[in-house]
Chains A and B, each alone.
Chain A
Amino acid sequence: MNTASRKPSASRKPALSSFSKLSTPAILIVVLIAVDFFAWWLNIPFVEDIFTVGTIYLVMVLGFQLFMGNSGILNWSYAGYIAIGAFASAILSMEPVDKLKYIPVMYPFLVNLHMPFPLALLLGALFSALVAAIIAWPLMRLTDSVGAITQFALLIVINVILSQWQEVTNGPRTFTLGQSRTTSLGVALFVAVLAIIVVFWFKESSLGIKLRASRDDRYAARSSGINIIATRYLAYISSAFIGAIGGGLYSHYIVSITAAAFYMNQVFVLLTMLVIGGSMSVSGAFFGTVLITLAQQGLRQVEMYLTVHGYIDASGTTEIALGILMILFLMVLPNGVTGGREVALRIRSRVREKPKEDSVETV
C-alpha cells in the first residue's frame, strides 16, 4: 500500500490505472472490515462501542467529503441534514406506543407512522435530501467565505427549528427512541462499506470530475461548458442524503438524542476528521476518521484519569487538544495525512527514463 498514486507513474497504459483506481475502495473496505472485525472479536462492550460510533462517524465524514472535498465549499449546514435524518428515521421506526409514552405532544399523524428500521433509515435520508433539494439551489451560487457563512446561518436555522418544534422533535428535551439499539456494529459496517463505494464512485464519475474542476478554477470550468450550480446542487443533495443515513444510524444506536447533539460541535469534529485526513480524497476521510476516533478516546482516558485521581480538573481537554491538532495540521499539512491523494496499489513496470529537454519553463 502506498499513497503515491500521483507521483510520476511508470505505467504507459491507462488500463493499469483503472486497476490501481479500483484498489483504493478495496483497500479501504478491507481495512475497515478488519478493524471492525477485530473490535467485535475482542468482545469488550466498551471497545465495540467506540468502533460502532467510529464507523457511524465514518459514514458521516464520507458524506461530508463528497460535497466539501470535491467542491471546496465549507458546508456547515451538513450537521443540520444529519439531524433531520436522525429525527426523521427515528419517528418513522418507533412503535406508536413508545411515541405516546416518550413524546406525548407529537402530532397524531406522526404517531401512527411506523415501519421497519431499514425502510425508516432510507426514507428519513430521502426526506433530508428533499429538504436540501428545496433549500439549496440559490445557495449553490455562493463560494468561499460568503458560501461558508450562508451555510453556517442555515445550520442555525435548522437547529432552531428542530430544537423548538416540540410536536416533532420533543423540542429542547431529550427525544428517546424507547427501544433497544437497532444499529449494531455489523449494520454500521455494512452501511459504511456502501458509503465508501458510493463516495468513491461519485468522485470518479463525470459529476465528480466536474465538481473538482469547479473547485480548481471556476472560470475555466464554466468556459469548458460545466454548469457549476447544477453540479454543486446534485452533490449537495447526495451529501445530505449520506449524512442523514449516518444520522439515522446514530439515533438508532444512541437511542436518546437532542437537536443540540447535531450542532457546531459535531461539525467541528467532522471537520477535524476530514481536514486531518485530507479533505480532497476519500482515503483522507477514512484515515482522518480512524485517527481522530482513536485520538479522541485516548485523550478522553487521560482526561478521566487526571480528573478522577484529583490531579486537575481536566474535563474539556480533549476538545482543546483536537482544536490545537487541527490548527497544527492546517499550518504544516493543509492537505492532511494523505496529502489529498488516494491510497492505491500499483503494479510495477519498467521505470521510464526522463526525456525532458523539451519542457523547460522560463517565466
Chain B
Amino acid sequence: MVVNTTHDTIKTDPILNVQSIDVAYGSVRVLHEVSLQVFAGELVSICGINGAGKSTTLKTIAGVLKPQSGQIVFRGQDITGKNAEKTHRLGIALVPEGREIFPSLTVAENLRIGAFGRYDAKRYAQDLEDIFELFPILKERYNQAGGLLSGGEQQMLAIARALVSRPDLLMMDEPSLGLAPAMVDLIFELIETLKNRGITILLVEQNAERALKIADRAYLLSTGYIKFAGRPEDMSETIDITSVYLGDGEGGF
C-alpha cells in the first residue's frame, strides 16, 4: 500500500489513515488488521457491540495504546506509536469514555487545559465565547468544580475541553453513555452542529441507530474485525445489524 508522507495533503487524501493495525492487551488480541480512513470535514461512525474493539481503536489512534503492527498516518505524518501527549499536540483530541474531566478543577480551569499549547489569548477568549454559545450551562458554572456538575454537564465539559484545543480531528468515545434520554438528544444535536461547522469527527457509539443517522460514513466492528465500511444506509442493507447487536438498539437492557 502506498503511503503519502508529504505534508501538502491533497484534498482527496484522508486526514486520518489507519492501515491494518493489530492491537493486543497482553496475549489477547483485540484488533485484527483494522483499517479505516477519515476525510476532512467528515463525520465517521464506528459501530459495534461491547468488546468489539471500538474504544481500543480510538485509544490506539490517540496514542494511549500502541499497535503491534500496522501504521497510522495523520495529515501525512506517521504517528504510529506516538504517545498521547504528542498526538494531542498534533491536533487529535479524544473525548474519552466515562467523561474524564478533572473533578477538583473548576470549569474554567478544565477548559484552560484544553487550550494549553496555544498561547493566543485573544483567540482563546473568542473560542470561549463560542463554547458558551454551544454550552450555555458551562458559562453559568464557570467557577464551579467540575466534579459538582451533573453527568450530562460533565460530558459537555469534556467535549468543550476537546474543542478549545481546536483539533483537526475530534474523536468521541460513547458520548451518550449513561445519560438521561433528554440529554442523549442534546448530545446528538450537538454532534450534528459540530459536523455542520466543518469539524472532522470520529464517533464511537453503541447507540448505532442514532449514530448512523448523522454519520457520513460508517464502520462496523465485530470482535476486532472490520465487518463493514461504507455509507450508513448501505450498512443496514448489506448486514443484518440486529444479528450483530443481538437486540441491542435503543441502549436498553
Quick check: is A223 within 8 A (CB to CB) of the other chain?
yes
Determine the distance from Cα of A317 to Cα of B13 in the docked complex, in whole angstroms. 75
Contact of A209 among B101, B105, B137 (CB under 8 A): B105
Beyond known contacts A8-B144, A209-B109: 17 more, CB 8 A cutoff: A5-B143, A12-B139, A210-B113, A213-B109, A215-B104, A224-B165, A226-B85, A226-B113, A280-B104, A358-B186, A359-B137, A359-B153, A359-B180, A361-B150, A361-B178, A361-B179, A363-B178
Kindly list chain B residues whose C-beta atoms are within 8 Å of the C-beta of A310.
Answer: none
Given A358-B152, A362-B179, is A340 in contact with B85 using a C-beta cutoff of 8 Å?
A: no
CB contacts under 8 Å to A, within B104-127, are: 104-106, 108-109, 112-114, 116-117
CB contacts under 8 Å to B, within A1-38, are: 5-6, 8-9, 11-12, 14, 17
Q: Please report B residues at the A interface, Cβ cutoff 8 Å.
A: 62-64, 83-85, 88-89, 94, 96, 100-106, 108-109, 112-114, 116-117, 137, 139-145, 148-153, 161, 165, 177-180, 182-183, 186
From B85, which residue of chain A is reached at the shortest CB distance?
A: A225
> Which of B63, B109, B112 lies at the interface centre, i.e. has the most chain A CB atoms within 10 A of its CB?
B109
From B150, which residue of chain A is reached at the shortest CB distance?
A: A359
Judge whether A358 and B183 touch: CB under 8 Å.
yes
Quick check: is A227 within 8 A (CB to CB) of the other chain?
yes
Given A11-B143, A359-B152, A361-B179, is A224 in contact with B104 using a C-beta cutoff of 8 Å?
A: no
In the complex, 22 of the A-B residue pairs with CB atoms within 8 angstroms, ordered by the A residue number, are: A6-B145, A6-B148, A8-B148, A17-B108, A17-B142, A206-B116, A212-B102, A219-B64, A219-B100, A221-B102, A223-B94, A224-B116, A225-B88, A226-B85, A357-B182, A358-B183, A359-B137, A359-B150, A359-B180, A361-B180, A362-B180, A363-B151
Determine the distance from Cα of A9 to Cα of B142 in the docked complex, in whole angstroms. 9
Judge whether B88 and A223 touch: CB under 8 Å.
yes
Quick check: is A144 within 8 A (CB to CB) of the other chain?
no
Kindly list chain B residues whose C-beta atoms are within 8 Å of the C-beta of A361.
Answer: 150-152, 178-180
Kindly list chain A residues whose C-beta atoms are within 8 Å of the C-beta of B64.
Answer: 219, 223
Determine the distance from Cα of A340 to Cα of B144 in the docked complex, in whole angstroms. 14
Quick check: is A101 within 8 A (CB to CB) of the other chain?
no
Judge whether A217 and B84 touch: CB under 8 Å.
no
Kindly list chain B residues whose C-beta atoms are within 8 Å of the C-beta of A12.
Answer: 139-140
From B185, which residue of chain A is reached at the shortest CB distance?
A: A358
Quick check: is A167 within 8 A (CB to CB) of the other chain?
no
CB distance from A72 to the nearest CB of B (A): 10
Judge whether B105 and A14 touch: CB under 8 Å.
no
> Which of B96, B102, B103 lies at the interface centre, i.e. has the most chain A CB atoms within 10 A of its CB?
B102
CB distance from A331 to the nearest CB of B (A): 21
Kindly list chain B residues whose C-beta atoms are within 8 Å of the C-beta of A222.
Answer: 83-85
> Which of B104, B142, B151 lies at the interface centre, i.e. has the most chain A CB atoms within 10 A of its CB?
B104
Quick check: is A360 within 8 A (CB to CB) of the other chain?
yes
Kindly list chain B residues whose C-beta atoms are within 8 Å of the C-beta of A356.
Answer: 150
CB distance from A346 to the nearest CB of B (A): 10
Contact of B143 among A14, A362, A363 (CB under 8 A): A14
Determine the distance from Cα of A347 to Cα of B114 in the docked complex, in whole angstroms. 29
Judge whether B102 and A220 touch: CB under 8 Å.
yes
Quick check: is A216 within 8 A (CB to CB) of the other chain?
yes
> Which of A11, A217, A219, A224 lies at the interface centre, i.e. has the most chain B CB atoms within 10 A of its CB?
A224
